[in-house]
Amino acid sequence: MPSTFRQWVYVRPMQDDAVDAGCFDMRTMPLPTLAEGQALVRVRLINIHSNTRMRMALGAIPLGNTDSANYACAEVIETRDPSFKVGDVIACQAGWQDYAVVSSSDAAIGYGPASAATKALNRTNSQWTYAFRPSLVKAWTSDVLMDVFGTSGMTAWFGMRECGPILPSDTVLVAGVTGSVGSLAAQIACAAGARVVGLAGSPAKCAWAVETLGIAACIDYRGEGLADRIRAAAPSGVDVFSDGAGGDLTGLVVSSMNEGGRLFSYGMTSAFYASRLNRPTGKRPLRQTFGISEDVETLLTQRNIRSECWIVDSFYDQRLAAEDALSDLLKSGALKPVNTVVEGFDKLPEAIASLYKTQSAGKLQVSFA
Ligand SMILES: NC(=O)c1ccc[n+]([C@@H]2O[C@H](COP(=O)([O-])OP(=O)(O)OC[C@H]3O[C@@H](n4cnc5c(N)ncnc54)[C@H](OP(=O)(O)O)[C@@H]3O)[C@@H](O)[C@H]2O)c1
């Protein structure tokens, strides 16, 4: 049993909103003795989130602190918590650490409370903390557990389900198609037989998306005449728009969507990846945060477009159904995990910095199993 653990801490403020490895420092601290109701976990893999830089800028990750809200896959190595057994592989919010103390009585960090049904399913007080079923752990590695069976896969699957049924007659336009959620949503829509068109940030990324994800076409959203190019790639119009980008793109696409279409609005990467961060002042409704401005609301009403906008934990009481469906898709070959795994706890700062420089495909993860 280790006596210490390592933790990455945000120590040096970003200069001009740029994250570099020097923003972080590692510290080593003694592991606390477990109290009743706690478990010690060895972290196997840490997900790196696109909102990290914005959270650093807004003080949600305060200087001198780790990101306690960060998701990880971990193995229980000692337990005084009846909800966890030694050997359980769990999803949790462990911070940027190699070991962590968790407790089933802890609520989610940085999110609202879990529903009663989700708490009962998870046997914890947090929507994000639960033991994966042994069948999943046996079948899939930690990176797949935290990608396809983590918040990305869940968001993609519930998003397509709530915009469904996705029909072979549908054209589904997917923003951020090289991203973690978008790459999975695109494949799920393809598996339903729809014509899927992606949006990505360069010709090379578009070529990658068509080849790897099997989508019909992909458009570089950075070029001129985007609305015309969307019309050309989707000659019968856009029926479903999966939008994790937000910003001006949302209005541009919605204004050319078919009547009776469906909008899945789940994120704001246009803000997260902007070269200079536009720090929001005050709390806005989720729909506005994700790009559904008043003008977009008007368009949605005029065109009778249904919109889905939520945080995925709203559906976490149905997590097992999503896991089973995603398992079937993986086993059939219709779905491929899309992730980039960086090996080594030491590499976490470089991995975070790289997210805002190169934006590798799918979920970025740091593994040290
Ligand atoms: N609602 C929920 O429950 C939920 C769950 C998970 C994630 N999210 C949110 O969903 C969003 C996506 O998450 P993710 O994990 O998929 O992120 P990600 O893996 O970092 O993907 C980001 C994607 O955004 C694209 N992008 C960046 N700037 C853009 C711009 N200006 N216009 C259009 N596309 C742009 C990138 O495309 P290029 O590289 O091609 O430019 C990339 O494919 C985030 O805001 C995240 O917080 C929400």
DSSP 8-state assignment for residue 86: T
Given this model, what pLDDT does residue 197 score?
A: 98
Strand 257-265: give its sheet, edge to edge. Answer: 217-220, 195-200, 171-174, 238-243, 257-265, 306-308
Amino acid at 292: I
Given this model, what pLDDT does residue 282 score?
A: 82
Q: What is the pLDDT of residues 200-237, one digit of tens each?
A: 999 999 999 999 999 999 999 998 999 999 999 999 99
Q: In whole angstroms, what is the distance from residue 112 CA to residue 97 CA?
A: 23
Could you give the C-alpha distances from 239 to 34, 247, 264, in angstroms and in order?
53, 20, 11
DSSP 8-state assignment for residue 28: E
Residue of the CA atom closest to atom 38 of ligand 1: 201
To test ligand 1's pocket by mutation, which of 177, 222, 229, 269 has the most ligand atoms within 8 angstroms of CB?
269
| pLDDT class of 249 with cuts at 50, 70, 90 | very high
Index of the ligand 1 atom closest to the CA of residue 152: 6
Given this model, what pLDDT does residue 349 score?
A: 98
Cis status of the peptide bond prior to 165, with omega within 30 of 0? yes
Given this model, what pLDDT does residue 1 score?
A: 83
Given this model, what pLDDT does residue 21 score?
A: 97
Cα 171–Cα 176–Cα 182 angle in degrees, nearest 5: 70
Going through 67-170 in order, the beta strands assigned E by DSSP cover: 71-79, 89-93, 99-102, 130-131
Given this model, what pLDDT does residue 223 score?
A: 84
| pLDDT class of 171 with cuts at 50, 70, 90 | very high
- The CATH superfamily label for domain 151-312 reads NAD(P)-binding Rossmann-like Domain (3.40.50.720)
Ligand 1 near 269 CB (within 6 A): yes
Token pair of 61 as six digits: 């990750």
CA of 166 to the centre of ligand 1 (A): 22
Token pair of 339 as six digits: 């992730």
Residue of the CA atom closest to atom 32 of ligand 1: 270
CA of 66 to the centre of ligand 1 (A): 23
* Helix, strand, coil percentages in the chain from 3-state DSSP, rounded to 5: 35, 25, 40
Tell whether the model's pLDDT for residue 129 goes beyond 80: yes
CA of 177 to the centre of ligand 1 (A): 9
| pLDDT class of 358 with cuts at 50, 70, 90 | confident
| pLDDT class of 329 with cuts at 50, 70, 90 | very high
For the entire predicted model, the pTM comes to 0.98
Ligand 1 near 151 CB (within 6 A): yes
Given this model, what pLDDT does residue 330 score?
A: 98
Residue in this structure with the two tokens 């229980």, named with its chain if needed: 76
To test ligand 1's pocket by mutation, which of 19, 46, 50, 341 has the most ligand atoms within 8 angstroms of CB?
50
CA of 176 to the centre of ligand 1 (A): 6
Mean pLDDT computed over 142-156 = 98
Index of the ligand 1 atom closest to the CA of residue 268: 45
The answer to whether the beta carbons of residues 293 and 246 sit under 8 Å apart is: no
Ligand 1 near 221 CB (within 6 A): yes
Mean pLDDT computed over 8-32 = 97
Given this model, what pLDDT does residue 91 score?
A: 98
Q: In whole angstroms, what is the distance from residue 350 CA to residue 74 CA?
A: 21
What are the sequence ranges of the domains in the chain?
4-147+338-367, 151-312
Ligand 1 near 182 CB (within 6 A): yes
**224 Cβ neighbours under 8 A, 6+ residues apart:** none
Query: What's domain 4-147+338-367's architecture?
Result: Alpha-Beta Complex (3.90)
Tell whether the model's pLDDT for residue 296 goes beyond 90: yes
Residue of the CA atom closest to atom 36 of ligand 1: 176
Alpha helices in 149-290 (DSSP H): 151-162, 180-191, 203-213, 226-233, 248-254, 269-272, 286-289
| pLDDT class of 274 with cuts at 50, 70, 90 | very high
Tell whether the model's pLDDT for residue 29 goes beyond 90: yes
Ligand 1 near 267 CB (within 6 A): yes
List residues bridging with 340 in a β-sheet. Answer: 364
Ligand 1 near 183 CB (within 6 A): no
